[in-house]
Amino acid sequence: MPKALTPLELLTLVAVARLADEAYAVPIREEIKAVAGRSVSIAAIYGALDALERRGLASAALSDPRPERGGRARRYYRLTTHGREWIRREREQALRMWHGIAVDSRGGR
């Protein structure tokens, strides 16, 4: 059994999937903030991406140098096959777990 991802690593993994070709740290951070409501620093995102990369769930590629602002290359991330598989499994597992549960927004039942 592979060990679980930390919540931030999982959020990052999903954000990379959602952003497709536009996945680098800045939009990933904003995606997590907008969708999951969690505010983290850019460096924390880098930490999570680094962990995903080392576990073979995502791979990084440097873009061509951009024409503007010093023109350095951005570090884009994509999911590997293994990463896509992981997401699918997480999703199924979660859906199975949550199936049939209705949560009342007022907190009572």
Partner 1 sequence: MITGWLRRTVRAVAPPDLRDALLDDLDESFEREARSRSSVGAALWRTGQLASSIVELLSLRWRRRHPAVDDGPRPSVLRAAWRDARHAVRLLRRSPAFTAMAVGTLALGIGANTAIFSLVKAVLLEPLPYADPSRLAMIWNPAAQKEPTWLAVPELDAYRSSTRSVTRIGYWTTADGNLTGSGEPERLRLGLVSGDLFDTLGVPAAFGRPLERADIDGAANVVVLSYALWQRRFGGEASIVGRSISIGSQTREVIGVMPATFRLPMDYRDDQPTEAWLPLALPEAARANWADHSYFGVARLTAGVTADAVGAEFHGIEDTWVRDGHRQNQGNDRWHRSALPLPAFVAGAAERPLVILFAAVTGVLLIACANVVNLLLVRADRRRHEVLVRASLGAERGALVRQAMTESLILALGGAAVGLGVARLALQVLVALRPAGLPRLADVTLDGGVLLFAALAALVAALAFGAGPAWQFSRVNLADALRDTGRTLTPGKARLAIGRVLVIGQIACSVVLVIAAALLGRTLAELYRVDLGFDPRHVLTAQLQVPTAPYPTSDRVVDFYRTLIDRLERAPGVESAAAIRVLPLSRIIGDWSITVEDHPSRPNENPNGDFQWTTPDYFTTMRATLVRGRAFAKTDEATTPTVAVLNEAMAKTYWPTEDAIGRRFRMGTAAQEWITVIGVIRNTHANTIVEPPRSEMYLLHSQLPRTVGGAARGMDLVIRTTGDPMAFAGALRAIAHDLDPALPLARVRPLESVVSSALSAPRFAATLLASFAGLALILAAVGTYGTMAMLVSTRTPELGIRLALGAGRASIFRLVVGHGLGMAGLGIVVGLAVAAATGRVLESLLYGVRPLDLMTFLAAPAALALMAFVASAVPARRAARVDPLVTMRE
Binding positions for partner 1, rule: CB under 8 A: 3-4, 6, 24-26, 29-30, 41-44, 46-47, 50-51, 54, 62, 69-70, 72-75
Pick the closest to residue 58 from 76, 70, 42 (CA basis): 76
Query: How far is CA 10 from each of CA 36, 48, 52, 80, 104, rounded to the nearest angstrom?
Result: 11, 9, 9, 14, 26
Neighbours of 49 (CB within 10 A): 24
Q: Please report how close the Cβ of residue 26 comes to partner 1 at its closest, in angstroms.
A: 5
CB closer to partner 1, 32 vs 105? 32
Measured from the CB atom, the residue of 63 and 106 that comes closer to partner 1 is 63
Q: Give least dist CB 45 to partner 1, A.
A: 8
Q: Which is nearer to partner 1, 69 or 106 (CB)?
A: 69
CA within 13 Å, CB half, 69: 2
Q: How far is the CB of 41 from partner 1 (least distance, A)?
A: 5
Smallest distance from the beta carbon of 103 to partner 1, in angstroms?
25
Dist CA 51 CA 61 (whole Å): 15
